[in-house]
Amino acid sequence: MTQQSCPCCRQPVTVPTLETLTLALNLQPLQARILKAVWRGKGQPVPTSRVFDAMYEDDINGGPGEAAMYSALKIALCRLRKRLAGTGVWIENAGYRRGWKLVFTDGQAQNDDR
């Protein structure tokens, strides 16, 4: 656990480190890559293209087509959000065509419709 400033309100919050959270939740590799990509944004919107790059960083062909990438992202993100519920860390949609962003919460379960 580390003390960090909330990206939205700048209040100090205690959050787990990325590595601790990844290990504690036993994340699948694709989920861990998505979380890592969004975590690097430090609360700022991370474009979907950057998340795709992280998802397929080991694929020399750059991954499947865009439609398949969106499908894989949606499925992995849904599963990742379920694992993150109650941890105080959340990934939410930053708005149309803006991507995804990391949010620190009070640890309450979040709504998957975000």
Q: To the nearest whole number, what is the mean pLDDT of the chain? A: 84
| Span 69-90, pLDDT tens digits | 999 999 999 999 999 998 889 9
- Tokens read off for 12: 């100090």
pTM for the full predicted model: 0.78
pLDDT at 51: 94
Residues 83-110 have a mean pLDDT of 83
Report how far residue 26's alpha carbon sits from residue 45's, in angstroms, rounded to the nearest whole number: 25
Counting every residue written for the chain, the total comes to 114
The C-alpha atoms of residue 2 and residue 102 are separated, in whole angstroms, by: 16
